[in-house]
A and B are shown apart, each in its own frame.
Chain A
Amino acid sequence: MQHKVIDTKDVVIRFAGDSGDGMQLTGSLFADMSAIFGNELSTFPDYPAEIRAPHGTVSGVSGFQVHIGSGHINTPGDFCDMLVAMNPAALKANAKWLKRTALVLIDGDTFDEEGLKRAGLKSDPIAELYIEDRTIIVAPITTLTEESLKDSGLDHKTIVKCKNMFTLGMACYIYNRPMEYVFKYLEKKFSKKHPELIEPNKKVLKDGFNYAANIQAIPNTYTVEPADQKKGLYRNITGNQATAWGLLAASEKSGLPLFCGSYPITPATNILEELAIHKNLGAKTVQAEDEIAGICTAIGAAFAGSLAVTTTSGPGLSLKSEALGLAVMTELPLVVIDVQRAGPSTGIPTKTEQTDLNQALYGRNGECPLVVMAAHSPAGCFDAAFNAAKIALEHMTPVLLLSEGFLGNGSEPWLIPSMKDYPKIVPPFIQPNTEYKPYERDPETLVRKWAVPGMAGCEHRVGGLEKNHNGVLSSDPQNHAIMVAERAMKVEKVAEDIPLQQVYGSESGKLLVVGWGGTYGHLLSAVQQAREEGLDVSLANFDYILPLPKNTEEIFSRFEHILVCELNSGHFVNYLRGRLPQFSYSQYNKVQGQPFLVQEIVAAIKDNL
């Protein structure tokens, strides 16, 4: 058989197996080694809510998709070039994501009667799933791993656990990846507690590589050349990690200690976990007794002068609604991060959606506006969190930052910034022992001054009751009307401090695709593709939702049609219809707990031209 090495622009690989098979680790190791090799990449973990769902079932399949390229990579990819299926269920769950030309690598040992039965498959899964035309490599991965480690002295259970390294070794061969990074990873991971596991894992990895090289069943191998990247120091970062670090950066730039009060909830928990590590930078974390205590401890910390944060996901945001109103009423700086997941109610906790926008904008009693922002990529979460904190502290308002499960768990390489390039954050503190009227406002920004307990001579009371500018309780009708209007106007005036909206493509034209937050990568790829086909289409993806950037109206006026694409039933488009009713909007929506596919957007663009 003639073996060819094909140089390709980009490939999408999906690792899938039982939720205990170590596919998340395998996928992220493959991503990390590709990043270090110099590729651009984007990852997408797709896993079940159960920690260990029933063994071998479709509902228990855990997947990790990685898209690597020699050019710019915007998304984790729609369909895959290679699927690793560690059992029949993984094959069944992911067959629909195979490209026509895809290579499928299967652990043949798991395709016995029992395994097929658990996956709800019959005797010939390849035919049943209509994938006969793909290149299928059936390798007895479990047996080969057992064979590889039969003299290792490890027990059988531990040996079988190493089979993900065999798979990774095969993937390294197929995509010509150097394995040194994995060696280093194994040495670091096991050196302290389980040094006996280092060599066996390395051996299995190498055996997997050699097996793939020797079997003569793999028609071609591929290289993806390093991307032409900006020079500098890089790291891989997930959205949730970047969010946590962005908050730490804001703490440093404001000189205020970071306080995070949160309750664990998928998929936001890693932000709390990450901050809990960084006591070295003065962060205090309280794992509260519930979501309400999470936000209320944060509000208390804000009153006491901290950069206060609470992190959550949709159902948790619902529980925080009343306290968010308190933060609006007391005009305290507070950052609320909602890593959205599929709802309503418990919904599909591990799947991504943008269905909390209405809740973010409107989900409180009374006239209760606050700043609503969104993050648009995993690494972009760093700047988004930093900016959310900056606005909260400088404008004395709660800021709700919408992230998404897709961003929080997804990762990408990140050119490490330098903190000297970030602005100082200057909260409007009052000088001690000056006359203090708690709700007297700056005439330009309508921002009130901040007096913190411990400052002599500025004792005052805040609370949920309406009050006048002096901080005295008031149920006077005119005063209430004024305060309601001023709180709203204060939020609108944040527009003076946010960047103008950028447009990708042409300054004017036939169609403007509009999106917000984490759909950025997919929309960008789709618009790029459509433009390459000669279509007159451009993109505006919004990071700032309330208020909108100042030039929004002007941008919209330069296009004939506007198509708003979002992963909900139309929250943003209806918001735009309310705020900028002079334009007519088309919409493309998807509510499946999954990101967009680039091809779906391209089709929607064509439908609207």
Chain B
Amino acid sequence: MPRYTFKEFKSDQEVRWCPGCGDHGVLAALQRALPDVTEVLGYSKERYVVVSGIGCSSRLPYYMNTYGFHSIHGRATAISTGIKVANPNLTVWQACGDGDALAIGGNHFIHAIRRNVDINIVLFNNQIYGLTKGQYSPTSKFGAITKTSPYGTVEPPFNPGSLVLGAKGTFFARSLDTELKLNSEIMLAAAKHEGCSVMEMLTNCVIFNDGAHKLIADKDVRADRTIVLRHGERMIFGKNRDKGLVLDGMGLRVVTIGENGVTEDDILVHDAHSDNVGIHMMLADMKYPDFPVALGVIRDVKAVTYDAGVQNQVEQVKEKSKIHCVDDLLRSGSTWEVK
């Protein structure tokens, strides 16, 4: 099979996001990741289906030269579930926003995670409703001033990571819209993961919520205020690679290597494959300024997928059953003959 490039995954449609929108970066990362996925997993291009709900980010399927389904607000996860269960040979990617997946579509989102349907969900989190022009979302910061909260919101936000892990998600990763390389790396890991992979992309809405992630995402502070987690590697971060995370009692603590007798050996090693959700939850919950915000693949554990479970049950029942066609079915059980 010839190796694809990002060009084959680009559709001929004009991309209509605002200039400077964070979604451009995520789209580019996906178009660059899929040739790798295709090569590593031996997929053919017609197996890809990209599904979305409603919102700015949900325009994404039009920009991918694959099978695509731009559905209705909040329902992408249910549509994806149907596609994957109906045909487990397809590889399903989903684009959705924070309002789409966590407000109107919250129910489908948690249940797809609970069932562990083998779909790859890219969650664009810009903490605002963009397409309806600037209302607060379930991830807007407490007190956020928006068009529908002119005096500030009085409701705390969801942290998508803790929501995913609370529903016993098997894969969760987080990144920034501008981290092209890291994002492609995360997407490849998500594709390899059998089960529901949620990738939270912290995206910037230049029009209605510009700078929402500025405190951690700005180039000059990013290295000190975020940490990129990789399985098997020590949790070290900082411009000078001198800060790290250690366990302190029941929680995490930031330490500086070389201070107070701390050496590199004291720093935690990330185990994304650990079944124990506790440490992953702590990592996903880390907030600036007390902690660096965790990026990369936080959790990636093996579990049976729902779609495979459904398929296997069909095969098993078929094999044991004496009913092989509808004529058999109609004549099964209690019948009588009129002569």
- Shortest CB distance B103–A (Å): 14
Counting CB contacts under 8 A, is B195 at the interface? no
A233 pairs with B337, CB closer than 8 A: yes
Judge whether B333 is part of the interface by a CB distance below 8 angstroms: yes
A257 CB–B CB distance under 8 Å: yes
> Which of A60-68, A460-468, A545-553 lies at the interface?
A460-468
Q: Which residue of A lies closest to B306 (CB)?
A: A286
Minimum CB distance partner of B80 in chain A: A300
Minimal beta-carbon separation of B330 from chain A (angstroms): 5
Which residues of chain A have C-beta atoms less than 8 A from B81's C-beta?
Answer: 286, 293, 296-297, 300
A300:B335 contact, CB within 8 angstroms: no
Contact of B326 among A249, A288, A472 (CB under 8 A): A249
A465 touches B69 (CB 8 A): no
B320: chain A residues within 8 A (beta carbon): 280
**Are the C-beta atoms of B79 and A281 separated by less than 8 Å?**
no
Q: Which residues of A contact B311 (CB under 8 A)?
A: 284
Q: Does B151 contact A (CB under 8 A)?
A: no
Quick check: A230 and B72 within 8 Å, CB to CB?
no
Q: Beyond A303-B69, A326-B72, is A232–B108 a contact (Cβ under 8 Å)?
A: no
User: Is A252 a contact of B336 with CB atoms below 8 Å?
Assistant: no
Asked if B318 contacts A231 (CB within 8 A), the reply is no
The answer, among B69, B85, B325, B329, for a CB contact under 8 Å with A297, is B85
Known: A259-B86, A280-B324, A326-B72. A234 touches B335 (CB 8 A): yes
- Pick from A235, A325, A460: contact of B67, CB under 8 Å: A460
- Closest beta carbon of chain A to B117's beta carbon, Å: 10
**Cross-chain contact A284 with B83 (CB below 8 angstroms):** no
Give the residue of A257, A279, A289, A300 whose beta carbon is less than 8 angstroms from that of B107: A289
Binary interface encoding of chain B residues 50-61 relative to chain A, with 1 for a CB under 8 A from any of its CBs, else 0? 010010000001
Number of residues of chain A lying within 8 A (CB) of chain B: 68
Q: Can you name 19 A-B pairs with beta carbons within 8 Å?
A: A230-B338, A231-B339, A279-B317, A284-B86, A292-B75, A296-B78, A296-B79, A296-B81, A300-B79, A300-B80, A301-B85, A308-B86, A453-B47, A454-B90, A456-B46, A460-B67, A461-B68, A462-B68, A463-B61
Q: Is A524 part of the contact surface with B, judged by Cβ < 8 Å?
A: no
Taking a contact as CB atoms closer than 8 A, the residue among A296, A300, A416 that contacts B86 in the complex is: A300
Give the complex CA separation of A249 and B86 in angstroms.
Answer: 18
The closest CB in chain B to the CB of A456 belongs to: B46
Residues of A within 8 A of B337 (CB): 232-234
Please report the C-alpha to C-alpha distance between residue A292 and residue B72 in the assembled complex, in whole angstroms: 11
Indicate whether A461 sits within 8 Å of B70 (C-beta atoms), given known contacts A230-B338, A304-B90. yes
Tell me whether A454 and B47 are in contact (CB under 8 A): yes
Q: Is A602 an interface residue (CB 8 A)?
A: no
Contact B70 A462 (CB under 8 A): yes
Q: Is A368 in the interface zone, CB < 8 Å from B? A: no
Q: A235-B334, A301-B86, A464-B72 are in contact. Are A419 and B62 (CB under 8 A)?
A: no
- Given A235-B333, A293-B78, A323-B72; 6 other pairs, CB 8 A cutoff: A235-B335, A284-B86, A293-B107, A293-B111, A303-B49, A464-B70
Q: A250 — nearest CB in chain B belongs to which residue? A: B326
Q: Which segment, of A1-9, A32-40, A48-56, faces chain B?
A: A32-40
Which residues B149-179 have CB closer than 8 A to chain A? Answer: none
> Are B62 and A473 in contact, with the CB atoms below 8 A?
yes
Q: How far is the CA of A245 from the CA of B323 in the complex (A)?
A: 13
**Of all chain B residues, which has the CB nearest A246?**
B326
Q: Which of A264-309 contact B (CB under 8 A)?
A: 278-284, 286, 288-290, 292-293, 296-306, 308
Bound-state Cα–Cα, A292 to B75, Å? 8
Flag A418-435 by CB within 8 Å of B: 1 or 0 each.
110000000000000000
Closest residue of chain B to A330 (Cβ to Cβ) is B69
List, in ascending order, chain A residues with CB within 8 A of B80's CB: 300
CB distance from B157 to the nearest CB of A (A): 23
Q: Are A248 and B79 in contact (CB under 8 A)?
A: no
Q: Do residues B82 and A261 form an inter-chain contact, with CB atoms below 8 A? A: yes
Q: Does A322 contact B (CB under 8 A)?
A: yes
Instruction: Using CB atoms and an 8 Å cutoff, list the residues of chain A in contact with chain B.
Output: 32, 35-36, 38, 229-236, 245, 248-249, 252, 257, 259, 261, 278-284, 286, 288-290, 292-293, 296-306, 308, 322-323, 325-326, 330, 416-419, 453-465, 472-473
Q: Are B318 and A303 in contact (CB under 8 A)?
A: no
Give the CA-CA distance A472 to B339 in the complex, in Å. 61
Q: Contacts A297-B79, A454-B46, A461-B68 known; A290 to B107 CB distance under 8 Å?
A: yes
Contact of A454 among B87, B111, B323, B326 (CB under 8 A): B87
Tell whether B45 is near chain A: CB-to-CB under 8 Å. Answer: yes
Chain B hits for A261, CB < 8 A: 78, 82
**CB nearest to A455 among chain B residues:** B46
In the complex, the chain A residue whose C-beta lies closest to that of B111 is A289
Contact A416 B331 (CB under 8 A): yes
B71, A463: Cβ atoms closer than 8 Å: yes
Pair B47/A234 contact, Cβ less than 8 Å: no
Query: Counting CB contacts under 8 A, is B132 at the interface?
Result: no
> Which of A248, A279, A298, A418 has the most chain B CB within a 10 Å cutoff?
A279
Residues of B within 8 A of A301 (CB): 82-83, 85-86
State in angstroms the CA–CA spacing of A455 and B49 once bound together.
12
Q: Find out whether the CB atom of B72 lies under 8 angstroms from the CB atom of A418.
A: no
B325 touches A279 (CB 8 A): no
Known: A233-B337, A235-B334, A282-B314. A419 touches B108 (CB 8 A): no
Q: Is the CB of B326 within 8 A of A252?
A: yes
Q: Which residue on chain B has the smallest CB distance to residue A284?
A: B310
Chain A neighbourhood of B339, CB < 8 A: 231
Query: Given that A293-B78, A461-B62 are contacting pairs, would A322 and B72 also be in contact in the complex, using a CB cutoff of 8 Å?
Result: yes
- Asked if B65 is at the interface of the complex by the 8 Å CB criterion, the answer is yes
Closest to A462 in B: B69
Evaluate whether A286 and B72 lie within 8 angstroms (CB atoms) in the complex, with A36-B336, A38-B338, A454-B47 already known: no
Cβ contacts under 8 Å, B13 to chain A: 472
B329 contacts A281, C-beta separation under 8 Å: yes
Cβ-defined contact, A416 with B83, below 8 A: no
Measured between beta carbons, the chain B residues less than 8 angstroms from A325 are 72
Which residue on chain B has the smallest CB distance to residue A413?
A: B336
Separation of A280 and B323 alpha carbons in the complex (Å): 7
A231 proximity list for chain B (CB < 8 A)? 338-339
Bound Cα distance from A304 to B45, whole angstroms: 15
Which of A259, A296, A298, A419 has the largest number of chain B CB atoms within 10 A?
Answer: A296
By the criterion CB–CB under 8 Å, are B108 and A35 in contact? Answer: no
Contact of B240 with A by CB under 8 A: no
Q: How far is the CB of A472 from chain B (nearest CB, A)?
A: 8
A282 touches B336 (CB 8 A): no
Bound state CA distance, A257 and B82, in angstroms? 13
Query: Looking at the complex, which one of A259, A299, A308, A460 makes contact with B68 (CB distance below 8 Å)?
Result: A460
For A36, list chain B residues within 8 Å (CB): 336
In whole angstroms, what is the CA distance A455 to B44 when docked? 10
Q: Does B327 contact A (CB under 8 A)?
A: yes
A411 to B46, CA, bound (A): 46
Residues A234 and B336 in contact, CB atoms below 8 Å apart: yes
Residues of B within 8 A of A279 (CB): 313-314, 317-318
